[in-house]
Amino acid sequence: MAVTIRDVAYASGVHVSTVSRAFSAPHLVNPETRTRVLAVAEELGYRPNRAARALTTGRTHNIGLIVADIANPFFPPLIKAAQAQARTRDYHVFVADTDEDPQVEEELIQTLTKQVDGVLLCSPRLTNKTIERLHEDVPFVVVNRRVKGMPTVLMDVGRGARLAVEHLRDLGHRRIALVSGPSGSWTSRQMHEAAAAMSGVDLVLLGPNPPTEQGGLQAAGDVAASGVTGVLAYNDLVAIGLMEGLIGRGVDVPGDISVIGVDDIVSGRLTRPKLTTIAMPTAAAGRMAVDMLLQSVGEGGGTPVAMLETDLIIRESTGEAPR
């Protein structure tokens, strides 16, 4: 068995409670005793058992991070950043993948609840109602979606969409398609609203579509047939699939049709032409979400909503409208 607080207490000739204090309430113990205890602990290789500690303190020092699909390139930078940020606060993170299944998501949250101080819900697929119910048992921070009364981290995709449409308009495009994502998606709705409000262009809504390359590929026919010269896609994956489908049909990108994606995943820099896209601050979102969660765990006050900036990155998949 591993070395416990008792071993340290015995070896340093003090009571366990003193050892405990030496670690978690240093000011309550004589400096000399403390140094001695710490030295002995070090020598024995003692590490406090966080689970046992959690039992009395009610603080696990763990958080849960639930995402729809780890393999979706949008998430890894967020996971990485969240995990790194958590570590600076001495927190560990459980990562769970729901495979886009709300059922799995709910179950995961429930089994995780007792082991964590809070949960980060990234692009959750659950209904608001279910989220609210589950929230009774554990603090949440929701990323990429708006749920009433819940601390939230959003990325301003509306602004991104406006920038994108402006960019296309400046290039002379007058008829633009929005190749949307899944029907329930908050992001998709934001994009639509922002784009629809822009003057000087006609907007054609094409969707819903699965948020994947496949989804984009399948939409290529409709896009080609729609007579648009510019496209704003739900995300980079969709944009990449779309470009593939378009090029496969003999459509030139950006000669005939300009394409803009969302997310700025690394793959977007590798396509030919390189993808113009709206960069999402995923890493910043991960960090901020962790901060918010630990904040709300500590105090419980308020329901902060953060809106992070997005930016348009112009590469090669957009150009002058054909005339």
| Residues of the shown chain interacting with a copy of itself in the complex, contacts defined by CB under 8 A | 2, 45, 47-52, 54-55, 60, 62, 69-71, 73, 75-77, 79-80, 83-84, 87, 92-97, 99, 108, 110-115, 137, 240, 266-267, 270-272
Task: Check binding of 111 to DNA (CB under 7 A).
Answer: no
Q: How far apart are CA 239 and CA 209, in angstroms?
A: 12
Q: Does 169 bind DNA (CB under 7 A)?
A: no
Does residue 31 have a cis peptide bond before it, meaning omega lies within 30 degrees of 0?
no
Give the contact letters, 50-79, x = binds to DNA (CB under 7 A), - = no.
Answer: --xx-xxx----------------------
> Between the CA of residue 44 and those of 17, 20, 40, 204, what are the distances in Å?
18, 15, 6, 69
Tokens of 249: 């049909």
25 binds, among a copy of itself, DNA, none (CB under 5 to 8 A by kind): DNA
User: How far from chain centre, in Å, is Cα 37?
Assistant: 42
Q: Is 144 helix (H, G, I), strand (E, B) or coil?
A: coil
Q: What is the DSSP letter of 256?
A: T
4 binds DNA (CB under 7 A): yes
**Residue 270, binding choice from a copy of itself, DNA, none, Cβ under 5 to 8 Å by partner class:** a copy of itself
Among 285, 296, 310, smallest CA distance to 143 is for 285
d(CA 153, CA 132): 17
Instruction: Tell me the closest approach of the beta carbon of residue 179 to a copy of itself, in angstroms.
Output: 18
When the beta carbons of 158 and 245 are compared against a copy of itself, the nearer one is 245
Sequence-distant (6+) residues with CB within 8 A of 26 are: 34
Is-contact 115 62, C-beta < 8 A?
A: yes
Give which of a copy of itself, DNA, none residue 16 binds (C-beta under 5 to 8 Å, depending on kind). DNA
Which span (1-9, 144-152, 165-173, 218-226) binds DNA, by CB under 7 A? Answer: 1-9
Q: Which entry of DNA, a copy of itself, none binds 226, CB below 5 to 8 A by partner kind?
A: none
Contact with DNA (CB under 7 A) among 24, 110, 127, 183: 24
Cβ closest to a copy of itself, residue 78 vs residue 321: 78
- Tell me how far CA of residue 19 lies from CA of 3, 59, 213, in angstroms: 13, 19, 57
Minimum CB distance to a copy of itself smaller for 10 or for 94 = 94
Residue 130 interacting with DNA (CB under 7 A): no
3-state DSSP assignment of residue 93 = strand
Single residue of 35, 39, 42, 49 touching DNA by CB under 7 A:
49
Question: What's the per-residue H, E or C state across 32-95?
Answer: HHHHHHHHHHHHHCCCCCHHHHHHHHCCCCEEEEEECCCCCCCHHHHHHHHHHHHHHCCCEEEE
CB of 260 to DNA, least distance (A): 51
Q: What is the DSSP letter of 297?
A: H
Region from 23-31, 75-83, 137-145, 178-186 binding DNA, contact rule CB under 7 A: 23-31
Question: Contact 318/254 with Cβ under 8 angstroms?
Answer: yes
Count of residues in contact with DNA, rule CB under 7 A: 31
Interface residues toward DNA, by CB under 7 A: 1-2, 4-6, 13-18, 20-21, 23-25, 28-30, 32-34, 46-49, 52-53, 55-57
